[in-house]
Chains A and B, each alone.
Chain A
Amino acid sequence: MKKLILLASIFLVTALSGCKKFLDIQPKFKFSESLAINSYSDLQKTTTGAFSALQSGNLYGGGFIVNDELMADWIKTGSISDFSLNQLVSRQLNAFNSVSTGVWNDAYKTINICNIVLYNLPKFENEDPAGTKVTKGECLFIRAIMHYELLRRFAQASGYTANDAHLGVPIRLTPGNAEEGQDTKRSTVAEVYAQIQSDLEQAATLLPAAANARASQYAAYAFLAKINFTQNKFDKAIEWSEKIPVNVFVLKDSVNSVFSTGEGLPNAENIFQVDNNLNDRSNDVLHERFSDKASASSTLPLYIMNPGYFTSLLATQYSLGDKRALILFKKFATNWLCRKYTFNLSMNTPVLRYSELLLIHAESLAETGGSDADVRKDYNQLRVRAGLLADNSTSGKAALIAAVRQERDMELAMEGDRLFEVRRRKAQYFSAAGTFNWDEPRLIYPIPQQEVDQNKNMVQNPGY
Chain B
Amino acid sequence: MKQIYARQALLLVFLSVITTLTYGQATITGKILSETKEGLIGATVKVKGTSTGAAADLDGNYKIENAPEGKQVLVYSYVGYSPKEIAVVLTAGENAQNDVVLKEDKLLLNEVVVVGYGTQVKKELTSSIATVKGDDVKDAPAYNFTSALQGKASGVQVTTDNGLAGAATQVRIRGTKTLSNTAEPLYVIDGVQIVAFDISDAGSRLGYNTSPLSSINPADIESYEVLKDAAATAIYGARGANGVIIITTKSGKAGKTKIDVSYSGGVSMPANKIKLLNGSDYLKLHHEAYANDSLEIVKSGGNPKSYTLPGGLSAKDIANTNWIDQMFRLGYYNEANISFSGGDAKTTFYVSGGIRDDKSFIKDNKFQRINLSANISHTASKYFDFGVNTKLTRTTNKYSAAGGSGGLGLAQSSMLPVYALKDSLGRYYDGDAVRSGIQNPLADVELTKNQNESWRTISNVYANINFLKYFTFRNEFGIDFIYQNENFYTPKVLTRDSLATAADRRNFYLTWNYAGSLKFAKDFKQNHHFEMIGVFTATNTKEKYSYVGQRGFPVDSYDEPRGGTYIDGATAGTGREFSFVSVVGRAIYQYKKRHLFQLSLRADASSRFSPTKRWGYFPALSYGWILSDEKFMQKQRVFDLLKFRLSAGTSGNAEFTDDFAYFSSFSGGQNYNNQTGIGPDNTAVKNLTWETTVKSDVGLDFGILKSRLSGSFDFYYEYTYNMLVQGYPLSPSSGYTTVAKNLGKMQNMGVELMLTSNNLGPNSPVQWKTTVTFGLNRNKILDLGGVPEVSGTNYGDNRALVGYPVGTWYLAKYAGIDPQTGYMLIYDDKGNKVIADATSTVKYRQAVGRPYPLFNGGLNNTFSYKGISLDIFLTYSYGNMVYDDAGKRQVGNMGYGFNQYEETLNRWQKPGDQTDVQKLSLIRNYDINTTRDLHDASFLRLRTLSLSYNFPMKIVNQFKARSLRIFVTATNLATATKYKGWDPETNRDKSGPITQGVTYLATPQARTISFGVNVGL
Contacts and interface: CB of A to CB of B under 8 A. Distances in A.
Contact of B679 (A50, A83, A93, A182): A50
A299 interface: yes
A113 B567 contact: no
Contacts of B733: 104, 108, 169-170, 172, 176, 181, 184, 451, 455
Contact of A450 (B430, B433, B732, B927): B732
Given A25-B577, A48-B677, A86-B925, A177 B607 contact: no
Contacts of B1003: none
A29 B837 contact: no
Interface string A49-63: 111110100000000
Given A93-B838, A301-B436, A183 B659 contact: no
A455 B577 CA distance: 34
A108 B674 contact: no
Interface in B668-716: 668, 670-686
B423, B498, B680 — which one has the most chain A CB atoms within 10 A of its CB? B680
A94 interface: yes
Contact of B672 (A89, A169, A275): A275
A77 B676 contact: no
Contact of A52 (B614, B665, B679): B679
B736 A287 contact: no
B411 to A, nearest CB: 14
A301 B663 contact: no
Nearest to B567: A279
B336 interface: no
Interface in A97-118: 101, 104-105, 108-109, 111-113, 115-116
A183 B730 CA distance: 10
Nearest to B2: A4
B263 interface: no
A30 interface: yes
Given A23-B605, A29-B575, A182 B734 contact: yes
Contacts of A450: 729, 731-732, 737
Sorting the interface of chain A by its residue count into under 10, 10 to 19, 20 to 34 or 35 or more gives 35 or more
Contacts of A23: 579, 581, 605-607, 611, 614
Nearest to B684: A178
A61 to B, nearest CB: 12
B681 A30 contact: yes
Given A22-B540, A81-B897, A51 B611 contact: no
13 contacts: A1-B1, A27-B574, A30-B667, A32-B664, A37-B666, A53-B679, A83-B927, A90-B838, A90-B923, A96-B796, A111-B735, A175-B735, A176-B734
A185 to B, nearest CB: 10
Contacts of B962: none
Interface stretch (A230-238, A290-298, A312-320, A361-369): A290-298
A163 interface: no
A-B interface, 7 closest residue pairs, ranked by CB to CB distance from nearest: A112-B735, A176-B734, A78-B434, A48-B677, A79-B897, A49-B679, A36-B666
Contact of A22 (B436, B538, B789): B538
Contact of A299 (B433, B611, B663): B433
A43 B579 CA distance: 33
Contacts of A279: 567
Contacts of A182: 730-731, 734
Given A30-B667, A464-B839, A291 B496 contact: yes
Nearest to A179: B685
A455 B538 CA distance: 43
B731 A184 contact: yes
A192 B659 CA distance: 39
Interface in A15-40: 19-20, 22-25, 27-33, 35-37
B667 A29 contact: yes
B924 interface: yes
Contacts of B49: none
B655 to A, nearest CB: 16
A288 B496 contact: yes
A453 B734 CA distance: 14
A278 interface: yes
Contacts of B311: 298
Contact of B677 (A37, A52, A116, A302): A52
B678 A108 contact: no
A25 B542 CA distance: 10
A95 B842 contact: yes
A383 B59 CA distance: 106
A109 B735 contact: yes
Nearest to B413: A81
B566 interface: yes
A260 interface: no
A108 B732 contact: yes
A264 interface: yes
Given A29-B575, A31-B665, A93-B838, A297 B674 contact: no
Contacts of B680: 33, 36, 112-113, 116
Contact of B566 (A86, A115, A278, A297): A278
Given A4-B1, A87-B838, A184-B734, A36 B665 contact: yes
A298 B681 CA distance: 45
Interface in B540-577: 540, 566-567, 573-575, 577
Given A48-B675, A175-B735, A280-B671, A463 B607 contact: no
A277 B567 CA distance: 11
Given A264-B674, A291-B496, A463-B839, A297 B729 contact: no
A168 interface: no
B371 interface: no
B343 interface: no
A394 interface: no
A52 B671 CA distance: 6
Contacts of B676: 45, 48
B921 to A, nearest CB: 11
Contact of B734 (A47, A112, A278): A112
Contact of B735 (A28, A86, A108): A108
B77 interface: no
Contact of B663 (A33, A37, A55, A116): A33
Interface string A63-100: 00000000000000111110100110110111110000
Nearest to B431: A298
A300 interface: yes
A405 to B, nearest CB: 27
Given A78-B433, A176-B730, A179-B685, 8 more contacts: A25-B659, A32-B664, A46-B666, A49-B678, A104-B733, A109-B736, A275-B672, A280-B671
Contacts of B796: 96
B432 interface: yes
A96 B788 CA distance: 16
A374 interface: no
Nearest to A78: B434
A137 interface: no
A297 B423 contact: yes
A145 B679 CA distance: 19
A208 to B, nearest CB: 16
Contacts of A28: 573-574
A33 B730 contact: no
A247 B184 CA distance: 66
Nearest to B925: A90
Contacts of A78: 432-434, 897
A179 B683 CA distance: 10
B637 interface: no
Contact of B664 (A89, A90, A177, A299): A177
Which of B432, B436, B605, B896 is packed against the most chain A CB atoms within 10 Å? B436
Nearest to B423: A297
Contacts of A300: 312, 433-434
Nearest to B497: A287
B579 A30 contact: no
Contact of B436 (A83, A169, A299): A299
A393 interface: no
Contacts of A293: 436, 498
